[in-house]
């Protein structure tokens, strides 16, 4: 089983075009095997049996056909268009059959009763593309019907998925009663393949669970009993090879299909069906490796999505955050304690388009970058009354004298700011750094720098 991971990698890497080209080799090898093994279809071609074949070109090999021996009053023929297929183990086999015709429904139930079939897998609908593909051999729920000497009652019907119907049929013959379970797959178009393989694999898993250890053959049929029937038999065959540890280094899907074709003519009928086996086997191997224990635990680890690592903030972001912290430390610093200027703040050069305001002229300069506000109407600056200066904002300043001082190092432009500072360095005001932190700014007065002498008189 150590070969399974490498086989899985090979299946994943296979080219669909190469697989379809390989199908041509399968067809040519089938003719070689038929000639080499001397396979014939004479019984199905005789006149009395021709009408029992749904398709004239699909006949069972004489060497592997199902022979009917159960006597019934209406018919004593031993022919039915069905073939035995040997499974991967000695106690495992299949009956690959065409869908019954209205004239062969009794023979169909003869075959089921004679070989004690417990599970039926049906891979077609009754009508497809406006054509009759299979005669109904069961009854509606809780109803009974007679097919020759056989009485069939549909006791239970369930739909585990949207594409599967499970029916439990009670069959009575000569006062003897048996139970047969039918798995009806609805989503497999004729001469085509399902959109995904998981539905078919799940259906087969349910069928194997119902079959259990019973040694009777598993009955598989579609319309002709070749294309879809061959795919289902091939997938179940490979599954048995897998669980019984018979997968060898020379494992080949082509060999499996050729083995089936030696027993049922044209099993796996199209290139798309052949490619579908590759995809389904890939999914089967992946599922087996995930659930087979610690031996293949490393594969499941590789298939887990990688955990997303938490991205730490970059050095630039951290410096920007530190710079922002420094800025707020300057604007909102307490009244009695002056923090030391940080290295980042001291070495940072101001932007040429920004203006800087000195918050503490008596100590080392600490700067905070601010954006210029829109210009407001010029306000007369004088010391006559506090109420005339700035309303309620400067009411607490009393009648102290104030003077204007230009910002140090600032260019003499119309947009530069003036610093409003008290003549008393220790005075506490809303404009001082120790208060609420507001920057009181006024525009440069228009006119001469020196005030007229008459304005200085009270």
- Provide the annotated active-site residues: 222
Find all residues with CB under 8 Å of 443, minimum gap 6, and list them.
375, 376, 378, 379, 417, 418
d(CA 395, CA 386) in angstroms, rounded, equals: 6
H-run or E-run covering 406: strand 402-406
Picking from 215, 229, 213, the residue whose alpha carbon sits closest to that of residue 117 is: 215
Find all residues with CB under 8 Å of 139, minimum gap 6, and list them.
145, 152, 153, 154, 169
For tokens 């490393």, name the residue. 298
How open is the CA angle 408-410-414, to the nearest 5 degrees? 130
Beta pairing, strands 441-442 & 418-422? antiparallel
Picking from 207, 248, 209, the residue whose alpha carbon sits closest to that of residue 94 is: 207
Chain-centre distance of CA 339, in angstroms?
57
d(CA 6, CA 2) in angstroms, rounded, equals: 8
Picking from 74, 154, 79, 75, the residue whose alpha carbon sits closest to that of residue 120 is: 154
3-state secondary structure 90-116: CCCEEEEECCCCCCCHHHHHHHHHHCC
Whether 77 and 107 have beta carbons less than 8 Å apart is answered as: yes
For tokens 């430390």, name the residue. 329
Number of helices (H), then strands (E), in the chain: 13, 15
3-class secondary-structure state, position 125: coil
450, two tokens: 């020196």
10, two tokens: 């090979």
d(CA 334, CA 354) in angstroms, rounded, equals: 25
Beta pairing, strands 93-97 & 218-221? parallel
């Amino acid at each position: 089983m150590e070969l399974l991971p490498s086989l899985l990698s090979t299946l994943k890497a296979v080219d669909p075009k190469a697989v379809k080209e390989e199908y041509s080799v399968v067809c040519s090898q089938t003719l070689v095997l038929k000639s080499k093994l001397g396979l014939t279809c004479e019984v199905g071609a005789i006149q009395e049996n021709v009408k029992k074949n749904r398709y004239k070109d699909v006949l069972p090999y004489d060497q592997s056909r199902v022979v009917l021996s159960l006597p019934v009053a209406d018919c004593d023929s031993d022919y039915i268009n069905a073939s035995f297929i040997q499974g991967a183990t000695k106690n495992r086999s299949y009956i690959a059959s065409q869908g019954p015709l209205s004239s062969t429904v009794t023979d169909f139930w003869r075959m089921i009763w004679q070989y004690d079939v417990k599970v039926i897998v049906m891979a077609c609908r009754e009508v497809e593309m406006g054509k009759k593909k299979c005669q109904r051999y069961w009854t509606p729920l809780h109803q009974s019907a007679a097919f020759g000497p056989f009485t069939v009652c549909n006791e239970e019907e369930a739909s585990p998925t949207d594409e599967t119907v499970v029916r439990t049929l009670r069959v009575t013959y000569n006062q003897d009663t048996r139970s047969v379970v039918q798995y009806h797959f609805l989503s497999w178009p004729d001469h085509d393949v399902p959109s995904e393989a998981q539905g078919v694999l799940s259906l087969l898993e349910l069928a194997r669970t119902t079959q259990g250890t019973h040694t009777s053959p598993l009955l598989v049929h579609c319309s002709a009993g070749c294309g879809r029937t061959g795919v289902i038999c091939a997938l179940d065959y490979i599954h048995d090879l897998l669980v019984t540890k018979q997968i060898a280094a020379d494992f080949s899907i082509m060999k499996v299909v050729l083995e089936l074709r030696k027993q049922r003519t044209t099993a796996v009928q199209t290139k798309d069906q052949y490619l579908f086996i590759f995809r389904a086997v890939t999914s089967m191997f992946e599922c087996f490796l995930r659930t087979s224990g610690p031996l293949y635990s490393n594969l499941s680890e590789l298939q887990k999505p990688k955990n997303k690592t938490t991205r730490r903030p970059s050095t630039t972001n951290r410096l920007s955050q530190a710079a922002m912290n420094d800025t707020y430390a300057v604007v909102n610093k307490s009244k009695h304690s002056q923090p030391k200027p940080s290295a980042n703040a001291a070495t940072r050069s101001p932007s040429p388009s920004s203006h800087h305001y000195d918050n503490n002229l008596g100590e080392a300069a600490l700067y905070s970058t601010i954006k210029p506000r829109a210009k407001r109407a010029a306000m007369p600056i004088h010391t006559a009354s506090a109420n005339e200066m700035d309303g309620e904002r400067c009411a607490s300043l009393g009648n102290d004298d104030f003077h204007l001082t230009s910002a140090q190092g600032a260019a003499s432009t119309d947009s530069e700011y003036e610093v409003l500072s008290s003549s008393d360095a220790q005075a506490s005001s809303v404009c001082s750094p120790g208060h609420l932190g507001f920057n009181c700014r006024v525009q440069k007065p228009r006119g001469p720098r020196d005030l007229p002498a008459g304005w200085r008189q009270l």
